[in-house]
Structure 1
Amino acid sequence: MAEYPFFKNAPIIEAVIDIRVKARDDLTVEQLDAIHDSILDQYPNKKARHKWEGRFEFKKGEPPISSGTEAIDGYIFTSVDQKQVFQARLDGFTFSRLKPYKTWEHLRDEAYKIWLRYKEITSPEITRVALRYINKIEIPLPIRDFSEYLNAAPIIPKGLPQGVSSFLTRVVIHEPVIDAFAIITHALEQIINPNILPIILDIDVFKQKSEGISEKDAWDILEKLRHFKNKIFFENITEKTKEIFQ
């Protein structure tokens, strides 16, 4: 398995571990709220997570009638320093680490520690495991071409003006060896600093199985998804981009 360098100035602005589960009819948000008691010192901040569901009703000869309901489907807990956030929901668990990113081991171990609390309350049946890294690559201006820094740079036909003020690309690929998918998004953010070109490289890798995934397999899958994510990241950037992160 390929080894990749560790960057002192990694461009990661958010790293996410997400585990989806089958919703249980007998599980309540009040039970999810009980998780807070065991992690109150480290995650003192709590707010409800709201889910909205819309519905359209059609009757012959009448205009459609829309209605909607809003309900709490979980809670969001935030650490003292506001750098770590986790969601405990009726349909899953999400753990996020915001900038500055530390290491994969820190992200994984902290998420697992909180997951154990979630598991005690919910006795979950896992159906989907995902890992998402959102990178903000700050390219120094001026540049001649995006391809200096990106291997999947946007291409403008030669007969058109070459000035690009915004772009957004999204592709979904399949990794057959581990039977996982990746959603890869490139976007040019609004330029605020005239000397910096901010590019978002958003990598969302996941594996799902309707028949369920065991807890042990879920965390083993996350390790494989991490290597898949790393390969995607390094295949998308050039040597010149790597110099920015040293």
Structure 2
Amino acid sequence: MLNQKYPTLSKPPIQTAVFQIGFDSISSFPFKDELINAFAKKISNVFTVFNRNYNRTLELGKVRHEDKKVKISEPIIDTYIFASSDNSLVINITKSSFIFETRKYTTWEKQIDQLREIWSIYSDMILAGGYKVNRASTRFINRIEIPEMVDPTQYFNTTLYAASNVIQGEVDSFLIRYTTKLKDIDIQTHVTQGFEPAIGKIFPFVFDIDVISLKELTYNNLWDEFDILRKVKNKTFFSNLTEKTLNLLL
């Protein structure tokens, strides 16, 4: 069923696409400045902006019997952030995750190739082979505009349901979230969907699909796993659209 073919959309509703690789690493964090600066220079042809995000912690210590003194730690780097000049491409790197985000999605093949290239540079330069991938995920946030909608069930196969006389007045907006587990392939999905308040006669529908693999992966089968995540994401997306909605996107 996951190998089913789906139509190419001429008006894809993708607002943001996110690809995440989680890992355990023997590398110390935060990284040495010369190391992370060299990585930043290596990818600076696309990612021209480089920032560090700092975090502080609060510690409570006793001074006398009941007195407490609040101690604020020194700022510690918890995230390295790389972005394109227009902020349409962003990379967030923490101690255990590598997150690639695009707000100008083109095609799956192009985005995966870009992710693969940057991850290869990062894992070779920074992690130096001393890591294990323990998570892969992809998240697509879609926004579909429905004109002059009357009945949501004409447009989507999963929607809000209530028995008669339960909800008072007209529903202005709603949001539902559900999680599924595909035990045969060890993948989870988190789906959030619903209507935002209408803008004139347009009803914006948010369809947020997060597909997660929690198995340990090697460098080679990591990319095969992303292909499986894509198939699960596509099935989740297209299975929820009625023909009426699909025609709006073709």
State the TM-score bracket (shorter-chain normalisation): 0.7 to 0.9
Identity of aligned residues (%): 30
How big is the shift at 1:80?
Answer: 3.1
Q: Is the 8 A contact 1:88 1:118 kept in 2?
A: no
Equivalent in the alignment of 1:174: 181
Equivalent in the alignment of 2:147: 140
Q: Is the 8 A contact 1:168 1:187 kept in 2?
A: yes
Under a length normalisation based on structure 1, what TM-score does the superposition of the two structures give?
Answer: 0.87
Matches within 5 A, 1:81-160: 81-99=86-104, 101-120=105-124, 121-122=126-127, 123=129, 124-141=131-148, 143-159=149-165, 160=167
Q: Is the 8 A contact 2:140 2:209 kept in 1?
A: yes
Query: Is there any run of 5+ residues in structure 2 with no aligned partner, and where?
Result: none
Q: Deviations over 1:5-56 (max 9, x none)?
A: 1101100001111001114362433333431110112110122234565678
Q: Distance in 2 between matches of 1:243 and 1:135?
A: 16
Under a length normalisation based on structure 2, what TM-score does the superposition of the two structures give?
Answer: 0.85
Query: Is there any run of 5+ residues in structure 1 with no aligned partner, and where?
Result: none
Q: Which amino acid aligns with 2:210?
A: D
Q: Is the 8 A contact 1:32 1:118 kept in 2?
A: no
Number of matched residues? Answer: 239
Q: Distance in 1 between matches of 2:163 and 2:80?
A: 48
Stretches of 4+ aligned residues off by more than 6 angstroms: 54-58, 61-68
C-alpha change, 1:164 and 1:28, in structure 2 (3 Å) is same
* Residue 228 (str. 1) matches residue 235 (str. 2): no
Q: Distance in 2 between matches of 1:166 and 1:63?
A: 49
Equivalent in the alignment of 1:194: 200
Q: Distance in 2 between matches of 1:242 and 1:64?
A: 61
Aligned-pair Cα RMSD in Å:
2.5
Q: Is the 8 A contact 1:148 1:238 kept in 2?
A: yes
Q: Is the 8 A contact 1:24 1:90 kept in 2?
A: no
Equivalent in the alignment of 1:35: 39
